[in-house]
Structure 1
Amino acid sequence: MNGPRPSPAVLHTPGFAHYSLAWSPFHTNRIALASSANFGLVGNGRLHLVSLTPGAGDGLTLDKFYETQDGLYDVAWSEVHENQLVTASGDGSIKLWDVMLNVSDTPDHDLMPDLPIRAWQEHTREVFSVDWSNLQKDLFASSSWDGTVKLWSPDRPRSITTLQAHSSCVYQALFSPHQPDLVATCSTDGTLKLFDLRSPSYAPTSNPAAFSTPLSSAVLTVPASGTEVLTLDWNKYRPFTLASSGVDKVIKVWDCRMIKTGPDAGQQAVGGVCETQIVGHEYAVRKVQWSPHRPDVIASASYDMTCRVWTMAPAAGRNQLLYIHDPHTEFVVGCGWSLYEEGVLASCSWDSRLNVFRV
């Protein structure tokens, strides 16, 4: 890039390391931050609600925050209610919040702290991701270190479906933006999996009155890495195209239409073709996100303290790397594109800072 880079808008929240951020699908300037004390290892959490003031001197304002008893690892806005959002917690709980509730403004706030409007406690270990479907807008998904993915409706007291997705930690579960019944997951076992929610939850046995263990009924398993896969994302323009990355530091783009059947797969397809590999980060990649405005652009956040932007279609003789954002002083674990303004990207880090900048 030519010329000096404009300074990012910065919000500092001392004492709370940021784990994830989400732009509102309803408001152009509203961001939610999921944060944890003591880098998420022990202690409480906090949900921050932030506004971006647009213009030449972009700034960030902390509108309000909600305290939680355990660290928060992820956050997702409702697709049906502009003031509601859901959080994933280290104590295995999932909470639904309404940002218009102002209990903290009441005189007896000490006796009645800010509370979620609904809470669920089914996962047996940390909940590491939540994702709200933008096609089936009454559904959201959670994934946990207990190896399961659960589907929820905000109006129901219990989960709708449980997928025994992996044998170990499921770092992320995301609905397809193209097919309402498709969910992709990634795990410590080094695989990506695609689940079709129309498939039966249980596999019948020879005894018609009995059922087997809940089926890990993936329609496709992609052996994506020899080590942990920490993040994935669906391309917003190309169905069945996903990106993944993790401990191996390599961003990989997969065409999941190209399937081969493994010799021991039974009814389960194993394969997927790796279209592109992007090498450049120095440490594990914690987050990848495709641009909502361009099919060839992807952002990544890494333990190397940078957020980077890449293109899958570089001009002749040019590098895939488009931009490096490196003001953070700790692990960068989250990034997210503005849904309304092309080229605006946010990053969050364990340095307790949220940055919003223009690429």
Structure 2
Amino acid sequence: MGQHSHSRRPPHTPLTTMLEFRTAGFNPYNVKYSPFFDHRIAVGGGANFGLVGNGRLYVLNLTANGIACEKFFETQDCLFDIAWSEQHENQLLTAGGDGSIKLFDIGVGQFPVAGWQEHGREVFSVHWNLVNKSTFLSSSWDGTVKIWSPERKESITTLPIHSCVYSAQFSPHHPDIVTAVSRDSHLRVFDLRTKPSAQNHMTLAVPIHAPPKVRMPGMLNPNSGPTECLTHDWNKYRDSVIATAGVDTIIRTFDLRVPSGPVNLLAGHDYAVRRISWSPHLSDVLLSASYDMTCRVWTDGSNVDKGGNGAGMGAEMGRMDQHTEFAMGVDWCLFGAEGWCATCAWDERVLVWDVREFMRR
């Protein structure tokens, strides 16, 4: 199971098997597959649901005998997010409830090898640049996104959002494009190549709650106003497509070429959607994790209408309901067959499973 291994599933694990790991005493906030190894997963969380107490970072291995903990690191505060380094196979970032960002190395002791402390509130997301792998970003409840280099002690750039930023990402298609979603129900797009101005590199601010740009028969028509947006993700194949989700339970897809409103509204969750992730294998498929304790797989319909964008054709394709508390994190395995994923929830469990086993037949 070496670097960039392409085994079709975790070793010796037959279909229909769900692997489980218990994070006893800690409630996970997110789970991430390593970009280097198909058998390595990281999980970050905190004691007492992150309200008070320590945090813990787990590094897990998928083995022939199930999931084994390779190493864990204790932190002083809850870890709201994690991100693997794109430069170093043994390093990963954590987003701390105390406003800190830390870089851990699996092969180096019990303490972080680097740390940064500029945010004034909880850091809620961290993300490594997939194209320019020498930079990463963080977003915070203090209303800012910061761009960093692991080689520097101070941030490179600060992007003011003026609203609690729950999620920020670099585009997987361009090293200088950054997106963020926030409490004020907007998706903001920044281009770091532009000159700093009154807009602070911002090139677009899309109201997430805007009506769909194309009306289709039977398409959901929510009447609610702005609600907090908790998560978003770039499509890995279509460089202008982004999905968002949050408190109003609806997943929306946007095409930044026509940013007047969402292309699709994917409805079905009963409570807030905490995390979404586009498939690294299929351009129309995404996974979601919700406070309704389910993780669901969706199509945005773009593969139905080959001549268009599939507006109004999105649908739920299946759900996994084995978690017994808020589902908080989802991530796809980058290697092998297109179905394997990992999820985590406040039930102190990490589950590794094949999405295809839960698809409606």
Per-residue CA deviation, residues 184-210 of structure 1 (Å, 9 max, x unaligned), is 10000000000001122344xxxxxxx
1:182 shift after superposition = 0.3
**For this pair of structures, how many residues does the alignment match?**
316
CA distance in 1, matches of 2:339, 2:187: 28
Rg bigger for which structure?
1
Aligned with residue 266 of structure 2, among 278, 298, 313 = 278
2:301 aligned with 1:306: no
For 1:109, the equivalent position in structure 2 comes to: none
**Could you say what secondary structure the match of 1:38 adopts?**
helix
For 2:333, the equivalent position in structure 1 comes to: 338
Aligned with residue 289 of structure 1, among 235, 257, 277 = 277
Aligned with residue 135 of structure 2, among 136, 139, 161 = 139
2:64 aligned with 1:80: no
Closer, same or farther: CA 80–309 of 1 in aligned 2, 3 Å: same
Per-residue CA deviation, residues 169-228 of structure 1 (Å, 9 max, x unaligned), is 10011000111110010000000000001122344xxxxxxxxxxx44320111003110
2:232 aligned with 1:224: no
Amino-acid identity (%): 52
Q: Does the CA-based 8 Å contact 1:163-1:201 persist in structure 2?
A: no
Q: Does the CA-based 8 Å contact 1:257-1:272 persist in structure 2?
A: no
2:156 aligned with 1:171: no
For 1:198, the equivalent position in structure 2 comes to: 193
Per-residue CA deviation, residues 56-81 of structure 1 (Å, 9 max, x unaligned), is xx721111100000110110011111
1:168 shift after superposition = 1.8
For 1:48, the equivalent position in structure 2 comes to: 58
Which 5+ residue runs of structure 1 have no aligned equivalent?
Answer: 104-113, 204-214, 259-270
Q: Does the CA-based 8 Å contact 1:44-1:71 persist in structure 2?
A: yes
**Could you say what secondary structure the match of 1:280 adopts?**
coil
Which 5+ residue runs of structure 2 have no aligned equivalent?
Answer: 1-14, 210-225, 306-312, 356-361
1:13 shift after superposition = 1.2
Q: TM-score, normalised by structure 2?
A: 0.85
Q: TM-score, normalised by structure 1?
A: 0.85
One-letter code of the match for 1:116? Answer: P
**Could you say what secondary structure the match of 2:137 adopts?**
strand
Query: Which range moved further: 5-14 or 76-85?
Result: 5-14
1:155 shift after superposition = 0.8
CA distance in 1, matches of 2:16, 2:278: 23
2:257 aligned with 1:250: no
Aligned with residue 345 of structure 2, among 331, 349, 357 = 349
- If each structure's strand is expressed as a fraction of its own residues, which one has the higher value? 1
1:315 shift after superposition = 6.5
CA distance in 2, matches of 1:200, 1:67: 41
CA distance in 1, matches of 2:277, 2:314: 19
Q: Does the CA-based 8 Å contact 1:312-1:320 persist in structure 2?
A: yes
Aligned with residue 152 of structure 2, among 144, 151, 156 = 156
**Could you say what secondary structure the match of 1:10 adopts?**
strand
CA distance in 1, matches of 2:80, 2:250: 23
CA distance in 2, matches of 1:186, 1:123: 17
Q: In angstroms, what is the RMSD of aligned CA positions? A: 1.6
**Could you say what secondary structure the match of 2:49 adopts?**
helix
Per-residue CA deviation, residues 23-67 of structure 1 (Å, 9 max, x unaligned), is 11111110110110000111110000001126xxx7211111000
Q: Does the CA-based 8 Å contact 2:145-2:158 persist in structure 1?
A: yes
Describe how 1:98-137 pairs up with structure 2 within 5 A: 98-101=105-108, 103=109, 114-137=110-133
Q: Does the CA-based 8 Å contact 1:127-1:142 persist in structure 2?
A: yes
Closer, same or farther: CA 257–298 of 1 in aligned 2, 3 Å: same
Per-residue CA deviation, residues 318-356 of structure 1 (Å, 9 max, x unaligned), is 982222111111000110000113100111001110000
Per-residue CA deviation, residues 143-166 of structure 1 (Å, 9 max, x unaligned), is 0000000011111111111111x2
Q: Does the CA-based 8 Å contact 1:19-1:349 persist in structure 2?
A: yes
